[in-house]
A = this chain, B = another copy of it.
Amino acid sequence: MTTFPFAFAMAGGEGRTEILWMMLAVFGSAKLLAELFERLGLPGIAGEILAGILIGPSLLGWVAPGEVIRTMAELGVMFLLFRVGLEVEVAELTKLGGTALIVGVLGVVVPFATGWGLFQLLGRPPLESIFVGAALTATSVGITAQVLASKGLLHRPAARIILGAAVIDDVLALLILGAASSFATGTVNLMQLGLTTAFAVVFVVLVARWGRATVRTVMPRLESRLQVGEAQFSLAMVLLFGLAVLSAKAGVAAIIGAFLAGLALSGTLPRRIHDLAQGVTELLVPFFLASIGLQFSLAAFANWSTFLLALLLVPAAVLSKLIGCGLGASHLGREVAMRVGLGMIPRGEFCMVVARAGLTLHAISPATYRMIVFMAVAAAMLTPPLLKVAFRGVLAPPPETEDVFRIG
Protein backbone atom coordinates (compact mmCIF):
# COMPACT_ATOMS: atom_id res chain seq x y z
CA MET A 1 0.00 0.00 0.00
CA THR A 2 2.71 2.43 0.97
CA THR A 3 6.29 2.52 -0.09
CA PHE A 4 8.53 2.92 2.88
CA PRO A 5 11.96 4.38 2.81
CA PHE A 6 13.58 2.52 5.71
CA ALA A 7 14.03 -1.06 6.76
CA PHE A 8 11.59 -2.20 9.42
CA ALA A 9 12.47 -2.63 13.05
CA MET A 10 12.53 -6.16 14.42
CA ALA A 11 10.33 -5.68 17.46
CA GLY A 12 6.97 -6.58 15.93
CA GLY A 13 5.78 -2.99 15.70
CA GLU A 14 5.90 -2.62 11.90
CA GLY A 15 2.37 -1.31 11.43
CA ARG A 16 2.76 1.12 14.31
CA THR A 17 6.03 2.54 13.04
CA GLU A 18 4.47 2.98 9.63
CA ILE A 19 1.70 5.13 11.10
CA LEU A 20 4.24 7.31 12.90
CA TRP A 21 6.17 7.66 9.68
CA MET A 22 2.99 8.68 7.83
CA MET A 23 2.25 11.29 10.48
CA LEU A 24 5.76 12.69 10.15
CA ALA A 25 5.44 12.69 6.36
CA VAL A 26 2.06 14.47 6.40
CA PHE A 27 2.90 17.04 9.05
CA GLY A 28 6.45 17.67 7.89
CA SER A 29 5.68 17.99 4.19
CA ALA A 30 2.63 20.19 4.85
CA LYS A 31 4.69 22.63 6.92
CA LEU A 32 7.59 22.54 4.48
CA LEU A 33 5.38 23.42 1.53
CA ALA A 34 3.51 26.02 3.57
CA GLU A 35 6.86 27.68 4.26
CA LEU A 36 7.84 27.48 0.61
CA PHE A 37 4.52 28.97 -0.52
CA GLU A 38 4.71 31.81 2.01
CA ARG A 39 8.16 32.69 0.72
CA LEU A 40 6.82 32.81 -2.82
CA GLY A 41 4.04 35.14 -1.65
CA LEU A 42 1.43 32.40 -2.02
CA PRO A 43 -0.90 31.27 0.79
CA GLY A 44 0.65 28.57 2.99
CA ILE A 45 -2.68 26.75 3.17
CA ALA A 46 -2.59 25.97 -0.55
CA GLY A 47 0.92 24.59 0.03
CA GLU A 48 -0.38 22.22 2.69
CA ILE A 49 -3.03 20.88 0.28
CA LEU A 50 -0.38 20.50 -2.42
CA ALA A 51 1.76 18.51 0.06
CA GLY A 52 -1.06 15.96 0.21
CA ILE A 53 -1.11 15.69 -3.58
CA LEU A 54 2.68 15.23 -3.67
CA ILE A 55 3.02 12.55 -0.98
CA GLY A 56 -0.26 10.86 -1.96
CA PRO A 57 -0.88 7.72 -4.02
CA SER A 58 -0.74 9.51 -7.38
CA LEU A 59 2.76 10.89 -7.06
CA LEU A 60 5.29 9.90 -4.37
CA GLY A 61 3.06 7.25 -2.79
CA TRP A 62 4.44 7.79 0.73
CA VAL A 63 1.03 8.03 2.37
CA ALA A 64 -2.27 6.40 1.47
CA PRO A 65 -5.47 7.95 2.86
CA GLY A 66 -6.26 5.33 5.52
CA GLU A 67 -8.48 5.22 8.58
CA VAL A 68 -6.03 6.91 10.95
CA ILE A 69 -5.08 9.83 8.70
CA ARG A 70 -8.76 10.37 7.86
CA THR A 71 -9.67 10.52 11.55
CA MET A 72 -6.86 12.96 12.28
CA ALA A 73 -8.10 15.09 9.37
CA GLU A 74 -11.67 15.10 10.68
CA LEU A 75 -10.54 15.93 14.19
CA GLY A 76 -8.43 18.68 12.67
CA VAL A 77 -11.33 20.42 10.95
CA MET A 78 -13.53 19.86 14.02
CA PHE A 79 -11.00 21.56 16.28
CA LEU A 80 -10.59 24.31 13.70
CA LEU A 81 -14.32 25.09 13.70
CA PHE A 82 -14.41 24.75 17.47
CA ARG A 83 -11.67 27.37 17.77
CA VAL A 84 -13.47 29.60 15.28
CA GLY A 85 -16.69 29.24 17.30
CA LEU A 86 -14.79 30.26 20.44
CA GLU A 87 -13.83 33.55 18.81
CA VAL A 88 -17.30 34.44 17.52
CA GLU A 89 -20.37 35.72 19.36
CA VAL A 90 -23.79 34.27 18.55
CA ALA A 91 -25.08 37.84 18.54
CA GLU A 92 -22.60 38.77 15.80
CA LEU A 93 -23.91 35.93 13.67
CA THR A 94 -27.62 36.66 14.18
CA LYS A 95 -27.13 40.36 13.44
CA LEU A 96 -26.23 39.37 9.89
CA GLY A 97 -28.52 36.32 9.99
CA GLY A 98 -30.89 37.55 7.25
CA THR A 99 -28.04 38.01 4.79
CA ALA A 100 -26.52 34.67 5.82
CA LEU A 101 -29.86 32.97 5.11
CA ILE A 102 -30.11 34.45 1.58
CA VAL A 103 -26.43 33.66 0.92
CA GLY A 104 -26.94 30.09 2.17
CA VAL A 105 -30.05 29.51 0.05
CA LEU A 106 -28.70 31.08 -3.16
CA GLY A 107 -25.38 29.33 -2.56
CA VAL A 108 -27.23 26.03 -2.78
CA VAL A 109 -29.77 26.82 -5.50
CA VAL A 110 -27.39 28.38 -8.06
CA PRO A 111 -24.66 25.67 -7.86
CA PHE A 112 -27.31 22.93 -8.03
CA ALA A 113 -28.89 24.50 -11.11
CA THR A 114 -25.46 25.02 -12.69
CA GLY A 115 -24.25 21.46 -12.16
CA TRP A 116 -27.56 19.98 -13.20
CA GLY A 117 -27.87 22.26 -16.24
CA LEU A 118 -24.30 21.64 -17.40
CA PHE A 119 -24.73 17.88 -17.37
CA GLN A 120 -28.17 18.08 -18.99
CA LEU A 121 -26.71 20.24 -21.79
CA LEU A 122 -23.97 17.65 -22.28
CA GLY A 123 -26.69 15.04 -22.77
CA ARG A 124 -25.95 13.04 -19.61
CA PRO A 125 -28.63 10.95 -17.87
CA PRO A 126 -31.03 13.03 -15.71
CA LEU A 127 -30.13 11.15 -12.51
CA GLU A 128 -26.42 11.81 -13.02
CA SER A 129 -27.18 15.50 -13.58
CA ILE A 130 -29.08 15.60 -10.28
CA PHE A 131 -26.17 14.05 -8.36
CA VAL A 132 -23.61 16.37 -9.95
CA GLY A 133 -25.84 19.32 -9.05
CA ALA A 134 -26.15 18.01 -5.47
CA ALA A 135 -22.37 17.52 -5.21
CA LEU A 136 -21.83 21.20 -6.04
CA THR A 137 -24.13 22.48 -3.27
CA ALA A 138 -22.38 22.17 0.10
CA THR A 139 -19.59 24.52 1.05
CA SER A 140 -16.84 23.00 3.19
CA VAL A 141 -16.10 25.93 5.43
CA GLY A 142 -12.85 24.51 6.89
CA ILE A 143 -10.50 25.97 4.30
CA THR A 144 -12.06 29.44 4.49
CA ALA A 145 -12.18 29.30 8.30
CA GLN A 146 -8.47 28.52 8.39
CA VAL A 147 -7.66 31.43 6.08
CA LEU A 148 -9.86 33.86 8.03
CA ALA A 149 -8.63 32.69 11.45
CA SER A 150 -4.94 32.68 10.54
CA LYS A 151 -5.19 36.21 9.13
CA GLY A 152 -7.25 37.51 12.07
CA LEU A 153 -10.24 38.26 9.85
CA LEU A 154 -12.94 36.39 11.80
CA HIS A 155 -14.64 39.61 12.90
CA ARG A 156 -15.10 41.10 9.44
CA PRO A 157 -18.76 41.22 8.34
CA ALA A 158 -17.96 38.93 5.38
CA ALA A 159 -16.52 36.31 7.77
CA ARG A 160 -19.64 36.36 9.94
CA ILE A 161 -21.90 35.99 6.91
CA ILE A 162 -19.79 33.09 5.65
CA LEU A 163 -19.96 31.26 8.99
CA GLY A 164 -23.72 31.70 9.30
CA ALA A 165 -24.32 30.77 5.67
CA ALA A 166 -22.13 27.66 6.03
CA VAL A 167 -24.42 26.35 8.79
CA ILE A 168 -27.58 27.03 6.70
CA ASP A 169 -25.89 25.56 3.63
CA ASP A 170 -25.13 22.36 5.53
CA VAL A 171 -28.77 21.85 6.56
CA LEU A 172 -29.97 22.49 2.97
CA ALA A 173 -27.36 20.11 1.60
CA LEU A 174 -28.72 17.40 3.90
CA LEU A 175 -32.16 17.97 2.35
CA ILE A 176 -30.75 17.82 -1.19
CA LEU A 177 -28.76 14.63 -0.60
CA GLY A 178 -31.88 13.04 0.86
CA ALA A 179 -33.94 14.11 -2.15
CA ALA A 180 -31.33 12.93 -4.66
CA SER A 181 -31.04 9.54 -2.93
CA SER A 182 -34.85 9.25 -2.96
CA PHE A 183 -34.90 9.86 -6.70
CA ALA A 184 -32.18 7.30 -7.25
CA THR A 185 -33.92 4.58 -5.26
CA GLY A 186 -37.33 5.61 -6.59
CA THR A 187 -38.80 5.94 -3.10
CA VAL A 188 -39.59 9.58 -2.52
CA ASN A 189 -40.73 9.91 1.08
CA LEU A 190 -41.50 13.59 1.56
CA MET A 191 -42.64 12.98 5.11
CA GLN A 192 -39.32 11.46 6.16
CA LEU A 193 -37.34 14.05 4.25
CA GLY A 194 -39.25 16.85 5.97
CA LEU A 195 -38.82 15.29 9.39
CA THR A 196 -35.07 14.79 8.95
CA THR A 197 -34.60 18.40 7.91
CA ALA A 198 -36.89 19.73 10.63
CA PHE A 199 -34.95 17.72 13.22
CA ALA A 200 -31.64 19.13 11.97
CA VAL A 201 -33.00 22.69 12.00
CA VAL A 202 -34.46 22.34 15.49
CA PHE A 203 -31.19 20.87 16.79
CA VAL A 204 -29.06 23.68 15.33
CA VAL A 205 -31.42 26.45 16.44
CA LEU A 206 -31.78 25.08 19.97
CA VAL A 207 -28.04 24.75 20.51
CA ALA A 208 -27.22 28.09 18.88
CA ARG A 209 -29.98 29.91 20.79
CA TRP A 210 -29.70 28.41 24.27
CA GLY A 211 -26.32 26.64 24.25
CA ARG A 212 -24.38 29.61 25.50
CA ALA A 213 -26.82 30.53 28.27
CA THR A 214 -26.84 26.91 29.45
CA VAL A 215 -23.06 26.74 29.44
CA ARG A 216 -22.82 30.04 31.33
CA THR A 217 -25.10 28.68 34.06
CA VAL A 218 -23.89 25.10 34.27
CA MET A 219 -20.15 25.40 33.59
CA PRO A 220 -19.01 27.49 36.59
CA ARG A 221 -21.03 25.37 39.03
CA LEU A 222 -19.76 22.10 37.61
CA GLU A 223 -16.22 23.38 37.35
CA SER A 224 -15.99 24.57 40.94
CA ARG A 225 -17.07 21.15 42.19
CA LEU A 226 -14.77 19.05 40.04
CA GLN A 227 -11.55 17.74 41.57
CA VAL A 228 -10.00 16.24 38.46
CA GLY A 229 -7.09 18.17 36.87
CA GLU A 230 -7.76 20.57 33.95
CA ALA A 231 -11.51 20.30 34.59
CA GLN A 232 -12.41 23.17 32.24
CA PHE A 233 -10.52 21.64 29.37
CA SER A 234 -12.10 18.25 29.98
CA LEU A 235 -15.61 19.75 30.08
CA ALA A 236 -14.94 21.66 26.87
CA MET A 237 -13.74 18.50 25.14
CA VAL A 238 -16.79 16.52 26.29
CA LEU A 239 -19.06 19.29 24.96
CA LEU A 240 -17.12 19.35 21.67
CA PHE A 241 -17.26 15.58 21.11
CA GLY A 242 -20.82 15.38 22.44
CA LEU A 243 -22.23 18.03 20.11
CA ALA A 244 -20.22 16.64 17.18
CA VAL A 245 -21.76 13.19 17.72
CA LEU A 246 -25.25 14.66 18.20
CA SER A 247 -24.89 16.76 15.03
CA ALA A 248 -23.89 13.72 13.03
CA LYS A 249 -26.91 11.91 14.48
CA ALA A 250 -29.15 14.86 13.62
CA GLY A 251 -27.94 14.63 10.04
CA VAL A 252 -25.67 17.69 9.84
CA ALA A 253 -21.89 17.55 9.70
CA ALA A 254 -19.88 16.86 12.85
CA ILE A 255 -18.01 20.14 12.26
CA ILE A 256 -21.28 22.07 12.66
CA GLY A 257 -21.57 20.50 16.11
CA ALA A 258 -17.97 21.45 16.84
CA PHE A 259 -18.69 25.03 15.73
CA LEU A 260 -21.80 25.16 17.94
CA ALA A 261 -19.74 23.86 20.88
CA GLY A 262 -17.25 26.65 20.32
CA LEU A 263 -20.05 29.25 20.08
CA ALA A 264 -21.60 27.95 23.31
CA LEU A 265 -18.27 28.26 25.13
CA SER A 266 -17.20 31.59 23.62
CA GLY A 267 -16.37 34.15 26.25
CA THR A 268 -16.38 31.67 29.15
CA LEU A 269 -13.01 29.97 28.78
CA PRO A 270 -9.76 31.52 30.03
CA ARG A 271 -6.85 32.20 27.65
CA ARG A 272 -4.97 29.08 28.79
CA ILE A 273 -7.79 26.72 27.73
CA HIS A 274 -7.84 28.47 24.34
CA ASP A 275 -4.11 27.73 24.05
CA LEU A 276 -4.61 24.07 24.98
CA ALA A 277 -7.29 23.68 22.27
CA GLN A 278 -5.10 25.66 19.88
CA GLY A 279 -2.29 23.11 20.36
CA VAL A 280 -4.55 20.30 19.15
CA THR A 281 -5.69 22.48 16.24
CA GLU A 282 -2.14 23.36 15.20
CA LEU A 283 -1.15 19.69 15.26
CA LEU A 284 -4.18 18.38 13.35
CA VAL A 285 -5.09 21.07 10.79
CA PRO A 286 -2.17 20.07 8.50
CA PHE A 287 -3.73 16.59 8.40
CA PHE A 288 -7.05 18.13 7.32
CA LEU A 289 -5.44 20.19 4.58
CA ALA A 290 -3.06 17.50 3.32
CA SER A 291 -5.82 14.89 3.30
CA ILE A 292 -7.73 17.01 0.76
CA GLY A 293 -4.70 16.67 -1.49
CA LEU A 294 -4.44 12.94 -0.74
CA GLN A 295 -7.82 12.48 -2.49
CA PHE A 296 -6.32 13.74 -5.72
CA SER A 297 -6.01 11.09 -8.38
CA LEU A 298 -4.33 11.26 -11.76
CA ALA A 299 -7.12 8.97 -12.99
CA ALA A 300 -9.22 12.12 -13.58
CA PHE A 301 -6.94 12.68 -16.57
CA ALA A 302 -7.39 9.16 -17.91
CA ASN A 303 -8.69 10.42 -21.25
CA TRP A 304 -9.38 13.70 -23.02
CA SER A 305 -13.15 13.77 -22.59
CA THR A 306 -12.90 13.20 -18.82
CA PHE A 307 -10.16 15.78 -18.59
CA LEU A 308 -12.12 18.42 -20.49
CA LEU A 309 -15.24 17.75 -18.46
CA ALA A 310 -13.24 18.11 -15.25
CA LEU A 311 -11.92 21.43 -16.54
CA LEU A 312 -15.51 22.55 -17.21
CA LEU A 313 -16.70 21.42 -13.79
CA VAL A 314 -14.10 23.44 -11.84
CA PRO A 315 -15.15 26.87 -13.20
CA ALA A 316 -18.81 25.82 -12.87
CA ALA A 317 -18.24 25.00 -9.20
CA VAL A 318 -16.26 28.17 -8.54
CA LEU A 319 -18.46 30.60 -10.47
CA SER A 320 -21.81 29.21 -9.31
CA LYS A 321 -20.89 29.69 -5.63
CA LEU A 322 -19.28 33.04 -6.30
CA ILE A 323 -22.34 34.32 -8.17
CA GLY A 324 -25.00 32.67 -5.96
CA CYS A 325 -23.47 33.70 -2.64
CA GLY A 326 -22.22 37.01 -4.00
CA LEU A 327 -25.75 37.93 -5.11
CA GLY A 328 -27.04 37.06 -1.66
CA ALA A 329 -24.69 39.59 -0.07
CA SER A 330 -24.75 42.18 -2.90
CA HIS A 331 -26.75 44.73 -0.86
CA LEU A 332 -23.67 45.10 1.38
CA GLY A 333 -21.53 46.32 -1.50
CA ARG A 334 -19.38 44.71 -4.15
CA GLU A 335 -16.38 44.19 -1.88
CA VAL A 336 -18.25 42.23 0.82
CA ALA A 337 -20.17 40.31 -1.84
CA MET A 338 -16.91 39.23 -3.49
CA ARG A 339 -15.41 38.14 -0.20
CA VAL A 340 -18.50 36.16 0.77
CA GLY A 341 -18.76 34.56 -2.65
CA LEU A 342 -15.09 33.53 -2.72
CA GLY A 343 -15.19 32.31 0.87
CA MET A 344 -18.01 29.91 0.04
CA ILE A 345 -16.19 28.25 -2.87
CA PRO A 346 -14.48 25.28 -1.16
CA ARG A 347 -16.20 21.93 -1.32
CA GLY A 348 -15.11 18.98 0.74
CA GLU A 349 -16.31 16.03 2.71
CA PHE A 350 -20.00 16.46 1.78
CA CYS A 351 -19.21 16.63 -1.92
CA MET A 352 -17.34 13.30 -1.60
CA VAL A 353 -20.27 11.82 0.34
CA VAL A 354 -22.71 12.76 -2.46
CA ALA A 355 -20.34 11.42 -5.11
CA ARG A 356 -19.88 8.15 -3.22
CA ALA A 357 -23.65 7.82 -2.68
CA GLY A 358 -24.20 8.43 -6.41
CA LEU A 359 -21.59 5.80 -7.26
CA THR A 360 -23.11 3.25 -4.88
CA LEU A 361 -26.61 3.86 -6.28
CA HIS A 362 -25.25 3.59 -9.86
CA ALA A 363 -26.48 7.12 -10.51
CA ILE A 364 -23.06 8.41 -11.61
CA SER A 365 -20.18 6.75 -13.46
CA PRO A 366 -16.72 6.17 -11.91
CA ALA A 367 -15.36 8.79 -14.32
CA THR A 368 -17.86 11.38 -13.02
CA TYR A 369 -16.95 10.39 -9.47
CA ARG A 370 -13.28 11.11 -10.15
CA MET A 371 -14.20 14.42 -11.80
CA ILE A 372 -16.14 15.53 -8.73
CA VAL A 373 -13.18 14.65 -6.49
CA PHE A 374 -10.86 16.57 -8.81
CA MET A 375 -13.21 19.55 -8.67
CA ALA A 376 -13.21 19.50 -4.85
CA VAL A 377 -9.40 19.42 -4.65
CA ALA A 378 -9.08 22.18 -7.27
CA ALA A 379 -11.67 24.41 -5.56
CA ALA A 380 -9.87 23.94 -2.23
CA MET A 381 -6.53 24.90 -3.78
CA LEU A 382 -7.97 27.98 -5.51
CA THR A 383 -9.72 29.46 -2.46
CA PRO A 384 -6.74 30.67 -0.36
CA PRO A 385 -5.13 32.74 -3.16
CA LEU A 386 -8.51 34.17 -4.20
CA LEU A 387 -9.33 35.12 -0.60
CA LYS A 388 -5.89 36.64 -0.20
CA VAL A 389 -6.63 38.96 -3.10
CA ALA A 390 -10.17 39.74 -1.93
CA PHE A 391 -9.03 40.71 1.57
CA ARG A 392 -5.92 42.53 0.37
CA GLY A 393 -7.22 45.88 1.54
CA VAL A 394 -7.68 44.83 5.16
CA LEU A 395 -4.63 42.60 5.46
CA ALA A 396 -1.99 44.16 7.66
CA PRO A 397 1.68 43.45 6.89
CA PRO A 398 2.47 39.81 7.87
CA PRO A 399 0.70 39.30 11.23
CA GLU A 400 2.67 38.18 14.27
CA THR A 401 2.30 34.42 14.68
CA GLU A 402 1.41 34.94 18.32
CA ASP A 403 -1.61 36.96 17.26
CA VAL A 404 -3.27 34.11 15.43
CA PHE A 405 -6.70 33.67 17.05
CA ARG A 406 -5.84 36.45 19.47
CA ILE A 407 -8.07 39.11 18.02
CA GLY A 408 -11.08 40.16 20.08
A60 contacts the other chain (CB 8 A): no
Question: Chain B's nearest CB lies how many Å from the CB of A282?
Answer: 5
Question: Chain B's nearest CB lies how many Å from the CB of A227?
Answer: 4
A35 CA / B11 CA spacing, docked (Å): 37
Supposing A276-B282, A278-B276, A279-B280 touch, asked if A248 and B16 sit within 8 A by C-beta, the answer is yes
Which residues does chain B contribute within 8 Å of A282, judged by CB atoms?
Answer: 230, 233-234, 276
A183 contacts the other chain (CB 8 A): no
Which residues does chain B contribute within 8 Å of A16, judged by CB atoms?
Answer: 70, 74, 248, 254
Which residues does chain B contribute within 8 Å of A277, judged by CB atoms?
Answer: 279
Which residues does chain B contribute within 8 Å of A20, judged by CB atoms?
Answer: 74, 241, 244-245, 248, 254
User: Which of A11, A39, A44 counts the most chain B CB atoms within 10 A?
Assistant: A11
A70 CA / B18 CA spacing, docked (Å): 13
Residue in B10, B238, B401 whose CB lies within 8 Å of A28 = B238
Supposing A24-B242, A68-B67 touch, asked if A229 and B283 sit within 8 A by C-beta, the answer is no
Supposing A9-B249, A20-B245 touch, asked if A27 and B238 sit within 8 A by C-beta, the answer is yes
A389 contacts the other chain (CB 8 A): no
In the bound complex, do residue A38 and residue B272 qualify as a contact, i.e. CB atoms below 8 Å apart? no
A233 CA / B6 CA spacing, docked (Å): 26
Question: Chain B's nearest CB lies how many Å from the CB of A311?
Answer: 28
A379 contacts the other chain (CB 8 A): no
Task: Report A354-408 residues with CB < 8 Å from chain B CB.
Answer: 356-357, 398, 401-402, 404
Which residues does chain B contribute within 8 Å of A250, judged by CB atoms?
Answer: 9
Mostly, the A contact residues are: helix
A44 CA / B44 CA spacing, docked (Å): 42
Supposing A19-B71, A245-B24, A272-B402 touch, asked if A196 and B10 sit within 8 A by C-beta, the answer is yes
A174 CA / B28 CA spacing, docked (Å): 29
A155 contacts the other chain (CB 8 A): no
A157 contacts the other chain (CB 8 A): no
A237 contacts the other chain (CB 8 A): yes
Which residues does chain B contribute within 8 Å of A241, judged by CB atoms?
Answer: 20, 23-24, 27-28
Question: Chain B's nearest CB lies how many Å from the CB of A69?
Answer: 10
A278 CA / B229 CA spacing, docked (Å): 13
Which residues does chain B contribute within 8 Å of A174, judged by CB atoms?
Answer: 11
Task: Report A210-257 residues with CB < 8 Å from chain B CB.
Answer: 226-231, 233-234, 237-238, 241-242, 244-245, 248-251, 254
A205 CA / B67 CA spacing, docked (Å): 36
Supposing A276-B278, A279-B279 touch, asked if A234 and B31 sit within 8 A by C-beta, the answer is yes
A21 contacts the other chain (CB 8 A): yes
Task: Report A25-57 residues with CB < 8 Å from chain B CB.
Answer: 27-28, 31, 34-35, 38-39, 44
7 contacts between A and B (CB under 8 A): A8-B249, A12-B357, A19-B74, A20-B245, A24-B242, A28-B242, A150-B229
